[in-house]
Amino acid sequence: MIRYSNQFCAAGLWVALLAGLLAGCGGGGSSGSTGGSGAAYTVPASGSSSTGTSTPASTPAASTPAATTTTAYQVGTTTTDPNLPAAPTMPTLPPANAACQLTANYAAQSNGLLPTTTEATAGSTAPDTARIQAALYACANAANAYTATNTLSSNGVVELSANGANNAFLTGPLSMPGGVTLVIDSGVTLFASRDPTQYESGTTGASTANLPGTPNAGQTGATTSAIAGNGTYYCGQIYPNDDGCKPLISNVVYSGSAKIYTSNNAIMGPGTIDGQGGQPLYTTAANLAAAGAPPLIKRPDGTNMSWWDLGWEGNEALSGEDENNPRLIEPLYGYNFTLFNLTLQNAPKFHITPTGINGFTAWNVKIFTPTAVYQTMTNYWGAPYSYASIKNTDGIDPGSKSPTTSATPASPALPGGYSGSAGSFTGDISNVLVAYSYISDSDDNMAIKGESSIADGRVYNITVAHNHFFYGHGMSIGSQTSGLDGNPANLASADPGVVANTTPLLVQGQLVYPSVSNVNVYDLSMNYTDNGVRIKTNWSEGGLVSNANYTNLCMQGNPSPNTLDSTPQAAIIITPYYTATGNAGLYPSYQNITINGLHELTAASWTFQGFNSASPNLQGWPTGSVAVPSPAVVNPLGLTLNNVVADVAPLSVTSSDASITLGNNVNVPLVTSTTNNVIAASNTAIAAAPTVDCSKAFVPFPGQTFP
In this predicted structure, what is the pLDDT of residue 69?
67
The amino acid at 226: A
Structural domains counted in the chain? 1
Q: What DSSP designation does 293 have?
A: P
- Cis-peptide into 270, omega within 30 deg: yes
Is residue 660's pLDDT more than 90? yes
In this predicted structure, what is the pLDDT of residue 214?
54
DSSP for 240-255, please give it: S---SB--SEESEEEE
Within 13 Å, how many C-alpha atoms sit on residue 6's CB side?
Answer: 21
Asked whether the beta carbons of 284 and 365 are under 8 A apart, the reply is no
Confidence of residue 169 (pLDDT cuts 50, 70, 90): very high
Q: What is the mean pLDDT of the chain?
A: 84
Which residues, in sequence order, are bridge partners of residue 168? Answer: 106, 189
Residue 258 CB neighbour total at 10 angstroms = 12
Question: pLDDT of 497-513, one tens digit each?
Answer: 444 445 565 544 545 56
Q: CA separation (Å) from 603 to 114, 571, 572, 586, 632?
A: 41, 9, 12, 34, 35
- By three-state DSSP, how is residue 116 classified? coil
Question: pLDDT of 232-251, one tens digit each?
Answer: 788 998 887 788 999 999 99
Query: 664 exposed, middle or buried (CB, 10 Å; 0-12, 13-18, 19+)?
Result: buried
Q: CA separation (Å) from 538 to 81, 585, 623, 624?
A: 36, 10, 13, 12
Residue 258 counted as domain residue: yes
DSSP for 299-348, please give it: PTTSSBPBHHHHHHIIIIITTS-EE----SEE-BSSEEEEEEEEEEE--S
Question: pLDDT of 582-631, one tens digit each?
Answer: 998 888 999 999 999 999 999 999 999 999 999 999 999 998 988 998 99
Residue 92 CB neighbour total at 10 angstroms = 8
- Residue of 565, 310, 351, 570 lying closest to 441 (CA atoms): 351
In this predicted structure, what is the pLDDT of residue 232?
78
- By three-state DSSP, how is residue 109 classified? coil
Question: pLDDT of 430-456, one tens digit each?
Answer: 999 999 999 999 899 999 998 887 778
What is the CA angle 379-383-388, rounded to 5? 95
- By three-state DSSP, how is residue 539 classified? coil
CATH number at residue 331: 2.160.20.10
Residue 494 counted as domain residue: yes
Residue 232 counted as domain residue: no
Confidence of residue 314 (pLDDT cuts 50, 70, 90): confident
Q: What DSSP designation does 239 have?
A: E
Instruction: Please tell me the chain's helix, strand, coil percentages from 3-state DSSP, rounded to the nearest 5.
Output: 10, 30, 55
Residue 610 counted as domain residue: yes
Question: pLDDT of 634-656, one tens digit each?
Answer: 999 999 999 999 999 999 999 99
Query: 150 exposed, middle or buried (CB, 10 Å; 0-12, 13-18, 19+)?
Result: middle
Asked whether the beta carbons of 184 and 174 are under 8 A apart, the reply is no
Residue 452 counted as domain residue: yes
Is residue 493's pLDDT more than 70? no
Question: What's the domain range around 291?
Answer: 12-99+182-197+251-682
Asked whether the beta carbons of 628 and 539 are under 8 A apart, the reply is no
Asked whether the beta carbons of 196 and 296 are under 8 A apart, the reply is yes
Strands 272-274 and 335-345: what pairing? Answer: parallel
* Mean pLDDT on 31-43: 50
In this predicted structure, what is the pLDDT of residue 73?
97
In this predicted structure, what is the pLDDT of residue 32?
34
Residue 140 counted as domain residue: no
Residue 296 counted as domain residue: yes
Question: pLDDT of 387-403, one tens digit each?
Answer: 999 999 999 999 999 88
Strands 174-175 and 249-250: what pairing? Answer: parallel
Q: What is the pTM (predicted TM-score) of this model?
A: 0.88
Residue 19 counted as domain residue: yes
